[in-house]
């Protein structure tokens, strides 16, 4: 048997092992559901782990409201501590490519009101890269 006949199966096995080891990024819908679950548990680290390091948040129609993981950490450390009764329920979710649009309902607010919100998430490399809040 010649040398190339022996190397070909080895190369194929090596490529197959690398392909099996690389996990695909979670579906955008799954990321948003995990994000909502982490928020409801007030699990700051799980919540922030779903953000891209350069996360950007916007208020509709496109005003930049927050940028970067460090700013998000500061905001949500305080928010989770002060608003421990807040719960987010996904009412409706629509996924299209790398974007997910969610109608959610927020309860447990300090003012006692229920808030219906519309949020658009954009994913990049399995993390939330952009969020646009539509009030």
38 is a domain residue: yes
36 is a domain residue: yes
Q: How high is the pLDDT of residue 59?
A: 93
52 is a domain residue: yes
Q: Is 53 left (phi over 0), alpha (psi -120 to 50) or beta?
A: alpha
Q: How high is the pLDDT of residue 85?
A: 87
What's the number of domains the chain is made of? 1
Q: How high is the pLDDT of residue 7?
A: 55
87 is a domain residue: yes
Consecutive H or E run containing 107? strand 99-107
Q: How high is the pLDDT of residue 93?
A: 97
118 is a domain residue: yes
82 is a domain residue: yes
Q: How high is the pLDDT of residue 25?
A: 81
Q: How high is the pLDDT of residue 24?
A: 80
The CA-CA-CA angle for residues 41, 80, 64, to 5°, reads: 110
| Dist. CA 99–CA 131, nearest whole Å | 10
Containing domain of residue 70, as a range? 23-134
10 is a domain residue: no
| Dist. CA 115–CA 121, nearest whole Å | 18
CATH number reported for the structural domain that contains residue 116 in this entry: 3.10.450.50
15 is a domain residue: no
pLDDT in tens, the chain (135 residues): 555 555 555 555 555 555 445 678 889 999 999 999 999 999 999 999 999 999 999 999 889 999 999 999 998 888 888 887 889 999 999 999 999 999 999 999 888 899 999 999 999 999 999 999 997
C-alpha separations of 127 from 6, 18, 29, 32 in Å: 41, 22, 11, 9
């Amino acid at each position: 048997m010649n040398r190339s006949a022996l190397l070909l199966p080895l190369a194929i096995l090596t490529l197959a092992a690398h392909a099996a080891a690389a996990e695909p990024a979670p579906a955008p819908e799954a990321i948003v559901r995990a994000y909502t679950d982490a928020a409801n548990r007030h699990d700051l680290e799980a919540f922030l782990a779903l953000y891209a390091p350069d996360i950007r948040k916007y208020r509709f129609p496109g005003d930049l409201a927050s940028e970067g993981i460090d700013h998000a950490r500061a905001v949500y450390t305080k928010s989770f501590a002060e608003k421990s009764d807040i719960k987010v329920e996904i009412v409706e979710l629509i996924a299209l490519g790398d974007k997910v649009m969610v109608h959610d309902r927020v309860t447990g607010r300090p003012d006692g009101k229920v808030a219906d919100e519309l949020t658009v998430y954009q994913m990049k490399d399995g993390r939330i890269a952009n969020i646009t809040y539509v009030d």
